[in-house]
């Protein structure tokens, strides 16, 4: 009898039987896309698993995985699962100090990492992590004189020897697994407080992956680019769970810097990116178009106008007059098609964005040139799976209908609650947190404030705990305001303040790429971020954006009172290395408010300039005090326009 395909290692064996020669993993190495078939992947995973066993790894243990998206690291996850262990992928760009917490929390004894950089960080954390005993590495470069480490090749060789000596052992281990076993532990990004280890079962991730594959008709013929951090739940769903459920091909880029080239070469059919990636792509396109010849610029402007008018409607299957359709077809041949090709999106059937709000212009741009970009909603705790947008009902301001198998309701306080097979098993070693977020009826409290619109799609307003009140009692949703600001290409990051205050003020980070380009075009000389950010011309540019946001807010009922009265452009970029952002680049609101308290006080005290000194940490580990006098500017506010509610 066929064993049930209810754990990832069993799914892997199944693919190796059913489609042994189908490409499972590709990686660009030495300039060439190297391919491993399902049979080869299954064989390699088996060797890693036996190798881990030979080095003493047993059921229930945790295996830390640190590095860029490398095939061997993905395979190591499966190997750990095959032994009944739990892979714990970690954010590869975190500094050693951040490693210590997770390594200790998960009591890591075994770690497999990509290269010298990660080995160094592990060794640096080791004195504080007594459990860490075994480190395996993929890329031997620079590690020749290190002692007490094991190379990947050695691990695999040990594994093959172990396998020979213990025939049938691997199969028996895989057979021991149960679908309720924890399949992976992913750490929350820790927007508030310490990161928590979210434990999800095989059943949960398989349910989420199956639901998604059915919803979007994904199968073995699809292809994805795996380039987002392996520690992030989105990548785990797309590059591991759906990979094993659908049996498609994952492609690992050559390096972090080559992603755009690799994307173009692979031409994935299924693509996922947070809004900032889509934004960067669009910024690049815009900059390059500005450098193009007059005819090309004209063509681009003209046909993008056509696309704006009817592109999204055509893609959504809405009725569009024939003349416009013809127009669009010409544009498709001359502009949209080539543009999709340059972006590496010619073959995309389904593209998703999530993790942050996406700007209306940005969203419309991609849809209007024929890319089926949709939104989804989910958390680490729900396997990134709660709501999805159907192909024929894609909206900008909502995140989709409850996905197959997901029950969703809004509680009295406006918080979004979900229930279904995709929920986490528990937070690791945190029964208190588990009890707090999963109620007696089995609903998970997402912490997001939202509501269902007329068509049944979920609309998210803000994090429930961030929603506050102005002194007047009007609702204050900082994220909502910040997102509106961030939709401007010139603004990279914004932090709004106003809870318990009489009016709203905001910090702004300009976008170096976009504003830098703007400055160059008008011959504005600058030496770096700090210099550029302080230019009066840049302040005018930002003021313009703030004014527009205020004009919009004036139309949004209660939110009209949330217009930004004063703002300043920060002298440094908010940075995860300075703890101002999480690794997934979300603002740590409270931390920023404390760190820059003098600036906030100055804004509300009505001062025009404030001196501040901040500690800045550089990439090479050094840090330095940076002092600056920051100008605080006033923005134009508008009288509230009644009629349309928020």
CB of 265 to other proteins, least distance (A): 11
Residue 220 CB neighbours (<10 A): 16
**Which residues neighbour 579 within 8 Å (Cβ) at sequence distance 6 or greater?**
588, 591
**Binding segment (CB under 8 A) for other proteins, from list 139-147, 427-435, 526-534, 637-645:** 139-147
Q: Does 291 bind other proteins (CB under 8 A)?
A: no
Measured from the CB atom, the residue of 9 and 344 that comes closer to other proteins is: 344
CB of 230 to other proteins, least distance (A): 20
CA distance 489 to 511: 7
Q: Does 171 bind other proteins (CB under 8 A)?
A: no
CB of 294 to other proteins, least distance (A): 23
**Which residues neighbour 271 within 8 Å (Cβ) at sequence distance 6 or greater?**
224, 225, 345, 348, 350, 351, 352
- CB-CB contact of 482 with 581 (8 Å): no
CB of 67 to other proteins, least distance (A): 15
Measured from the CB atom, the residue of 392 and 619 that comes closer to other proteins is: 619
Q: Does 642 bind other proteins (CB under 8 A)?
A: no
Q: Does 29 bind other proteins (CB under 8 A)?
A: yes
Number of chain residues interacting with other proteins (CB under 8 A): 17
CB of 142 to other proteins, least distance (A): 6
**Binding segment (CB under 8 A) for other proteins, from list 29-37, 70-78, 448-456, 553-561:** 29-37
CB of 141 to other proteins, least distance (A): 7
CB of 115 to other proteins, least distance (A): 11
CB of 627 to other proteins, least distance (A): 20
Burial class (CB in 10 A: 0-12, 13-18, 19+), 454: exposed
CA distance 506 to 547: 13
Token output for 84:
């009944």
Map the footprint of other proteins across residues 40-99, applying CB under 8 A.
none
CB of 378 to other proteins, least distance (A): 32
User: Measuring CA to CA, which residue among 277, 254, 278 is closest to residue 266?
Assistant: 254
CB of 255 to other proteins, least distance (A): 5
CA distance 434 to 381: 10
User: Measuring CA to CA, which residue among 357, 69, 351 is closest to residue 235?
Assistant: 69
Residue in this structure with the two tokens 């094991």, named with its chain if needed: 150
Token output for 483:
């997102």
Between 561 and 600, how does the x/- string for binding to other proteins read (CB under 8 A)? ----------------------------------------
The gap from C-alpha 434 to its chain's centroid, in whole angstroms, comes to: 24
- Tell which one of 1, 21, 141, 295 touches other proteins (CB under 8 A): 141
**Binding segment (CB under 8 A) for other proteins, from list 24-32, 65-73, 146-154, 583-591:** 24-32
Residue in this structure with the two tokens 């979300």, named with its chain if needed: 586
Q: Does 147 bind other proteins (CB under 8 A)?
A: no
Give CA separation, 568 vs 151, 477, 510, 565, in Å: 51, 19, 10, 11
Q: Does 627 bind other proteins (CB under 8 A)?
A: no
CA distance 143 to 462: 46
Map the footprint of other proteins across residues 231-290, applying CB under 8 A.
254-255, 257-258, 261
**Binding segment (CB under 8 A) for other proteins, from list 475-483, 496-504, 602-610, 616-624:** 616-624
Instruction: Give the angle subtended at the CA of 576 by the CAs of 574 and 578, to the nearest 5°.
Output: 75
Map the footprint of other proteins across residues 185-214, applying CB under 8 A.
none
Supply the DSSP symbol for 413: T
CA distance 283 to 278: 9
- CB-CB contact of 419 with 386 (8 Å): no
Q: Does 31 bind other proteins (CB under 8 A)?
A: yes
CB of 40 to other proteins, least distance (A): 21
Measured from the CB atom, the residue of 30 and 625 that comes closer to other proteins is: 30
Distance in Å from the first CA to the final CA of the chain: 58
Measured from the CB atom, the residue of 32 and 627 that comes closer to other proteins is: 32
**Binding segment (CB under 8 A) for other proteins, from list 28-36, 198-206, 300-308, 329-337:** 28-36
- Tell which one of 2, 4, 21, 30 touches other proteins (CB under 8 A): 30
CA distance 20 to 323: 49
Give contact residues for other proteins (rule: CB under 8 A): 28-32, 141-142, 144-145, 254-255, 257-258, 261, 618-620
């Amino acid at each position: 009898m066929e064993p049930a395909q209810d754990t990832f290692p069993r799914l892997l064996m199944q693919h190796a039987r059913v489609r042994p020669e189908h490409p499972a993993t590709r990686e660009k190495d030495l300039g060439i896309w190297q391919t491993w078939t399902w049979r080869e992947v299954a064989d390699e995973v088996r060797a890693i698993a036996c190798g881990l066993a030979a080095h003493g790894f047993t059921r229930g243990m945790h295996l830390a995985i640190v590095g860029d998206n490398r095939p061997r690291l993905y395979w190591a996850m499966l190997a750990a699962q095959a032994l009944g262990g739990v892979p714990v992928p970690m954010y590869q760009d975190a500094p050693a100090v951040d490693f210590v917490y997770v390594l200790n929390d998960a009591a890591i004894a075994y770690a497999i990492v990509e290269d010298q950089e990660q080995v160094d960080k592990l060794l640096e954390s080791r004195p504080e992590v007594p459990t860490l005993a075994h480190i395996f590495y993929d890329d031997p470069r620079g590690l020749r004189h290190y002692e007490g480490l094991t190379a990947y090749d050695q691990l695999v060789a040990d594994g093959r020897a172990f396998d020979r000596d213990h025939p049938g052992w691997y199969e028996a281990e895989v057979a021991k697994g149960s679908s309720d076993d924890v399949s992976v532990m992913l750490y929350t990004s820790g927007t508030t407080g310490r990161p928590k280890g979210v434990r999800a079962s095989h059943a949960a991730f398989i349910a989420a992956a199956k639901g998604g594959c059915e919803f979007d008709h994904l199968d073995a013929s699809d292809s994805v680019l795996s380039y987002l951090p392996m520690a992030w739940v989105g990548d785990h769903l797309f590059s591991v769970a759906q990979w094993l459920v659908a049996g498609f091909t994952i492609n690992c880029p050559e390096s972090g810097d080559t992603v755009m080239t690799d994307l173009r070469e692979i031409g994935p059919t299924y693509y996922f990116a947070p809004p900032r990636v889509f934004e960067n792509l669009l910024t690049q396109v815009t900059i390059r178009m500005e450098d193009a010849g007059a005819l090309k610029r004209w063509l681009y402007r003209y046909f993008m106008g056509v696309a704006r008018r009817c592109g999204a409607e055509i893609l959504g299957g809405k009725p569009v007059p024939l003349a416009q359709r013809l127009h669009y077809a010409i544009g498709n041949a001359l502009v949209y098609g080539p543009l999709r090709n340059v972006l590496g999106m010619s073959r995309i059937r389904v593209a998703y964005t999530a993790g942050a709000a996406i700007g209306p212009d940005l969203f419309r741009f991609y849809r209007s040139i024929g890319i089926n970009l949709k939104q989804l909603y989910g958390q680490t705790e729900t396997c990134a799976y709660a709501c999805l947008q159907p192909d024929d009902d894609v909206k900008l301001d909502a995140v989709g209908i409850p996905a197959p198998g997901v029950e969703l309701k809004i509680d009295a306080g406006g918080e979004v609650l979900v229930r279904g097979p995709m929920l986490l098993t528990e937070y690791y070693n945190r029964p208190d947190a588990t009890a707090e977020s999963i109620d007696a009826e089995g609903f998970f409290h997402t912490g997001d404030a939202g509501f269902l619109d007329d068509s049944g799609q979920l609309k998210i307003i803000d994090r429930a705990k961030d929603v506050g009140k102005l002194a007047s009692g009007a609702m204050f949703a900082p994220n909502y305001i910040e997102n509106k600001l961030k939709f401007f290409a010139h603004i990279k990051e914004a932090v709004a303040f106003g809870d318990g205050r009489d009016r709203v003020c905001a910090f702004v980070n300009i976008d170096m790429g976009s504003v830098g380009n703007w400055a160059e075009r008008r011959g504005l000389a600058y030496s770096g971020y700090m210099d550029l950010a302080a230019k009066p011309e840049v302040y005018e540019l930002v003021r313009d954006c703030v004014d527009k946001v205020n004009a919009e807010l004036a139309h949004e009922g209660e939110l009209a009172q949330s217009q930004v009265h004063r703002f300043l452009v920060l002298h440094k970029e908010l940075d995860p290395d300075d703890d101002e952002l999480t690794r997934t680049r979300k603002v740590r609101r409270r931390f920023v408010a404390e760190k820059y308290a003098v600036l906030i006080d100055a804004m509300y005290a009505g001062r025009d300039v404030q001196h501040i000194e901040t500690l800045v940490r550089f990439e090479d580990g050094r840090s330095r005090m940076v002092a600056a006098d920051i100008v605080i500017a006033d923005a134009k506010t508008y009288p509230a326009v009644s009629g349309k509610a928020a």
